[in-house]
Amino acid sequence: MSRKRSSDPAKPCTFSMPSSMHARLNNHISFEMSRSAWITSAIELKLNGDKANDSLDHWTTDEILQELLYSQRLKTNPAALEIVRTLRLLL
């Protein structure tokens, strides 16, 4: 009895990447992990908009500046806080 065929069979894909990125990828994944599965997952996240990372692509400039206003980093830097406030007024 043979194994049931996949409804979405995998296709081999060959592509090039910079050596530095290849080294980073090799350092990131473990021996137990599938490189193909990891790359497939990364592509799916990118194509689907990666809601987990809440991509900035859909944010308005004002929304980004508002988030900066409430970040902890700016609370300790009055000059940067004033710059963000001024930018919000100008936009």
Q: What is the pLDDT of residues 8-67, one digit of tens each?
A: 888 999 999 999 989 888 888 888 888 898 899 888 888 887 555 556 667 788 888 888
The band of 79, judged by pLDDT with boundaries at 50, 70 and 90, is confident
How large is the average pLDDT for residues 67-71?
A: 80
Q: Alpha carbon of 91 to those of 37, 58, 74, 84: distances in Å? A: 43, 17, 19, 11
Q: State how far the Cα of 81 lies from the Cα of 65, in Å rounded to an integer.
A: 10
29 CA to centre of own chain: 17
Domain boundaries, the chain: 13-54, 59-90
Q: What is the pTM of this model?
A: 0.48
pLDDT at 44: 87
